[in-house]
Amino acid sequence: MTLISLKSIYKIYNVGGEEVRALDGVGLEIKENEYLAIMGPSGSGKSTMMNMIGCLDTPTSGFYQFEGEMVNEMDDDQLASIRNRKIGFIFQTFNLLPKATSQHNVEIPLIYANIRKNKRTELAMEALNSVGLSDRMHHKPNELSGGQRQRVAIARALVNSPSIILADEPTGNLDSKSGHEIMVILDKLHKAGNTIILVTHEDEIAQHAHRIIRLFDGKIIEDSEIKK
């Protein structure tokens, strides 16, 4: 079943009077339970692509359907709601709230989804448990290692049972051992039925995915399946 459908997406910026086409007529379909890597050198439109899929940004022109809903016609609040319910973000720099415990960090998406405290605690515990951090519930980010922080971030991305998990260079700030652990978790999440979109420039990381999209100058130049 098709989850995401992008048709002739353009994102055009005006930088000092000069037109910059960050995305130049991109078309893409992503099905449920795909494991996709978006690759490309810097300036290729990779980040814009990710922001577009993550509903953080809207296209200058084109059509974006997410589970049948027209994202390109949505206002800010509707976009916020889509991000809250359907998308789980994992960032390179983790982006946890430094003064909040792991548990609270994981609960934030649930707060915005207006879920009661008891239910929130239960879901947060479940999510932390699934990334193997049930004993780190009350630790703050500065009391955790980089790998552990990223696992908290994964738990936060998972907690609302989103339709896709969007990971932007998830191992970029980690040593290779922690990075490997994170990839193992993502692989496991894929096996459990989640749709995962990786944005990376590392081939080794991209090899975990089952499909690779290569971007160059705002255009898709390659879309290939990886036979496992």
Partner 1 sequence: MLLLLENFLISISAIFANKARSSLTALGIVIGVFSVTMMGTLITGLDKTFEGSMSFLGKNILYVGRWEWFSDMDWWEMKNRPRIKLEYIDKIKNKSDLVLAVAPERRKGVSISYQEKNTGIEIFGTSENYMKTISSNIVSGRFFTNNEDRSGSRIIVIGDGVKKAFFGEKNPIGEKIKINNIKFRIIGVLEEQGKFMGIWSLDNRAIIPLGTYERIFSRRDFLTMRVKIPDKNLNEGKDEIMTIMRHLRSLKPNQKNDFSINQTKAFEKQYNSLKLAIGGTGTFITLLSLIVGGIGVMNIMFVSVKERTREIGVRKAIGATKGMIMGQFLMEAITICLFAGLTGLLFAYISSFFLNKLFPSTLDLGLATFAILISMLVGVVSGFIPSYQAANLDPIDSLRYE
Query: Closest Cα to residue 170, out of 180, 162, 159?
Result: 180
The token duo for 3 is: 């989850």
Helices 117-130 and 102-112 cross at an angle (nearest 10°) of 120
Q: How far is the CB of 203 from partner 1 (least distance, A)?
A: 25
Interface with partner 1, residue 91, by CB under 8 A: yes
Q: Which of 56, 65, 121, 219 binds partner 1 (CB under 8 A)?
A: 56
Interface with partner 1, residue 51, by CB under 8 A: yes
Q: Which stretch binds partner 1 (CB under 8 A): 66-74, 85-93, 178-186, 203-211?
A: 85-93
* Residue showing tokens 């814009």: 48
Q: Which stretch binds partner 1 (CB under 8 A): 22-30, 84-92, 180-188, 208-216?
A: 84-92
Contact of 49 with 38, CB cutoff 8 Å: yes
Can you tell me the distance from the alpha carbon of 141 to that of 146, in angstroms, rounded to the nearest whole number? Answer: 9
C-alpha distances in Å from residue 139, one per residue of 47, 87, 153, 174, 184: 31, 25, 13, 19, 23
Q: What is the size of the binding site for partner 1 (CB under 8 A)?
A: 27
Provide DSSP, 101-155. -HHHHHHHHHHHTT--HHHHHHHHHHHHHHTT-GGGTT--GGGS-HHHHHHHHHH
Q: Which of 21, 85, 140, 201 binds partner 1 (CB under 8 A)?
A: 85
Can you tell me the distance from the alpha carbon of 73 to that of 63, in angstroms, rounded to the nearest whole number? Answer: 9
The contact pattern for partner 1, residues 93-132, with x = CB under 8 A and - = no contact, is --xxx-xx-------xx-xxxx-x----------------
- Please, which of residues 169-228 interact with partner 1 by CB under 8 A? none
Q: Which stretch binds partner 1 (CB under 8 A): 53-61, 144-152, 189-197, 217-225?
A: 53-61
Q: How far is the CB of 137 from partner 1 (least distance, A)?
A: 17
Rounded to a whole number of angstroms, the distance between the first and last alpha carbons of the chain is 22
Q: Which of 77, 177, 193, 228 binds partner 1 (CB under 8 A)?
A: 77
Q: How far is the CB of 89 from partner 1 (least distance, A)?
A: 5
Q: How far is the CB of 225 from partner 1 (least distance, A)?
A: 30
Residues that bind partner 1 (CB under 8 A): 51, 54, 56-57, 76-77, 80-81, 83-85, 89, 91, 95-97, 99-100, 108-109, 111-114, 116, 156, 160
